[in-house]
Amino acid sequence: MPKMLLTEPRQFRVKRSGPPLSDVSVFQGIDVIAKSRRQYVSGLWSQLSHKIGKTSLDHVDGIEDEAEKVLEEMRNMKIMDISPLQCNLKNFFDNTRAYKNHSISIKSCASQSADISQTLSHAKIRENEVIKESKIHQQEFEALEVDKAKLKRALEGIDTKLKAKEAAVVANEGELSEVQLEISNLEDNVSAIKNAAIQTDEGISKSEEMRRLLEANQNELANFKLFP
């Protein structure tokens, strides 16, 4: 922040120039001109000083150029040395500019500080919100970890059951092969039995025929007479 350097107002006296006042009983044109010039210069300064006194310090530097025009006119009258007054006014306007710049700098710093404070306040509010959100996410994460562990155990149980079922399927496939082989053998046996049954029926018929013939032959022999 630039330092505001204010110079102390200088005490000054306006030095009058021109011929001394003459006796009022003697009319001299130069005295009239000098008096009129003094009144004119006094009027200029009266209006300028009034304007300076009534203008706010925040805006008084805006009349510096116009004040310089008035001082130039006063200087042109050549009835007094206005350099002390001019120097004092220059210091005054320099100090008002320094004051104005200092005030602007302070206001700017205050505005920036307020903006930073507001931004910081919003950041802290957001920080609290993020902390709350983080806690919620952490709780949800931990809950999901628990669910994951449960699912992992359930998956391990399912995997064990799956392996057992797979082993049972393999065993059943082996047993099925054995049963199918046994069925095939039984079917072969049934075919053989059927064939044997057919042969047995034929043998029984033949045996019965042979028995019938034998019985007939036996009966003939039993009734055979050697001599009529």
Q: Confirm whether 13 is domain-assigned.
A: no
How much is the pTM? 0.42
Residue 16 has phi, psi (to 5 degrees) of -80, 140
Q: Confirm whether 102 is domain-assigned.
A: yes
- Domain hosting 97: range is 30-124
Q: Confirm whether 226 is domain-assigned.
A: no
Q: Confirm whether 74 is domain-assigned.
A: yes
Q: What's the pLDDT at 44?
A: 92
Instruction: Read off the pLDDT of residues 95-109 as tens digits, 9 standing for 90 and up.
Output: 999 988 888 888 888
The segment with the largest mean pLDDT, out of 13-22, 116-125, 133-142, is 133-142
Q: Confirm whether 111 is domain-assigned.
A: yes
Instruction: Read off the pLDDT of residues 44-53 as tens digits, 9 standing for 90 and up.
Output: 999 999 999 9
Q: Domain total for the chain?
A: 1
Q: Confirm whether 216 is domain-assigned.
A: no
Residue 228 pLDDT grade (very low, low, confident, very high; cuts 50, 70, 90): low
Q: Confirm whether 149 is domain-assigned.
A: no
Q: Confirm whether 6 is domain-assigned.
A: no
Beta bridge partners of 16: 80
